[in-house]
Amino acid sequence: MKFTLTGTGSVKGCPVYGCDCPACIKAVMDPFLRRRPASAILQSEGEQTLIDAGLTDLEERFPPGSLKQILLTHYHMDHIAGLYSLRWGSSLKIPVIGPDTSDAPTDLLKTPGILDFSPTVTPFAPFQLEGVEITPISLSHSRPTVGYVFHRNGRRLAYLTDTLGLPEETLTFFAEIPLNIMIIDCSYSPDMADPPGSHNSLKDVIELHNKIQPSRTILTHIGHELDNWMNTHPLPKDIEAGHDGLVITL
């Protein structure tokens, strides 16, 4: 099982349009430092599953037939924007699996094109995809959102974006299973007095890392505020910043 981070940016991305902070200037100069919408690819048994669809160049990235399905965490635009053009393809159907579609944009549901929104997930009800057991779990966000725990051959990877902390039932779930890798929302630096929105700061992530105790914690949904902080501060042991293109093999 291989897991690739295709995007690690917050809703603003990096560089932020019009921003001249050090992180954004560096990202303009060095493509490796750029962050696109938070998303990932799960590869197992020769099949690819896209996790979130905020990237707007999906048709260029994935030749027809190369995506087995799309797994959504929620319906904010930076996680579904790429579906708006992808739906106008032809000669195939792509299942889009995610939370209850009552929260999905009406336009996408009325004219889904090649997208099939009929499969939905229920928190803590596991299902199988390409030899991987996947368990949706509840997250704490401004609209209904799930994370996913991927389990194969005794190893587990959790993908947890977008969230601010974790609900009690999710913390209880993690208390009962060993977790090898936790990929988690970390939009803000720890020195921000009152971070906006419903996303973690590094303080929140450190608290969750200590509670859940995964072997490795990887940050995603990273804002330029955190990138600027990381330019002059080290991250704690066993916590690392993800980057677009990072490949994790289990």
pLDDT category of residue 139 using cuts at 50, 70 and 90: very high
pLDDT category of residue 180 using cuts at 50, 70 and 90: very high
Whether residue 195 is predicted with pLDDT greater than 90 in this model: the reply is no
In CATH, the architecture of 2-249 is 4-Layer Sandwich (3.60)
Alpha helices in 53-186 (DSSP H): 58-61, 83-86, 106-110, 168-175
Q: How far is it, in rounded angstroms, from Cα 152 to Cα 40?
A: 17
Q: 69, 129 in Cβ contact below 8 A? A: yes
Q: 35, 244 in Cβ contact below 8 A? A: yes
CA-based nearest residue to 163, from 56, 15, 10, 42: 10
Per residue in 113-136, pLDDT (tens digit) is 999 998 899 999 999 999 999 999
pLDDT category of residue 148 using cuts at 50, 70 and 90: very high
Which percentage of the chain shows pLDDT scores above 90? Answer: 96
pLDDT category of residue 193 using cuts at 50, 70 and 90: confident
Q: 25, 74 in Cβ contact below 8 A? A: no
The overall average pLDDT reported for the chain is 96
Main-chain phi, psi angles of 44, to 5 degrees: -155, 135
pLDDT category of residue 244 using cuts at 50, 70 and 90: very high
Q: Helix, strand or coil for residue 175?
A: helix
pLDDT of residue 194: 81
Whether residue 192 is predicted with pLDDT greater than 90 in this model: the reply is no
Per residue in 63-109, pLDDT (tens digit) is 999 999 999 999 999 999 999 999 999 999 999 999 999 999 999 99
Per residue in 14-34, pLDDT (tens digit) is 999 999 999 999 999 999 999
Tell me the mean pLDDT in the region 185-198: 90
Q: 221, 9 in Cβ contact below 8 A? A: yes
Tell me the mean pLDDT in the region 33-38: 98
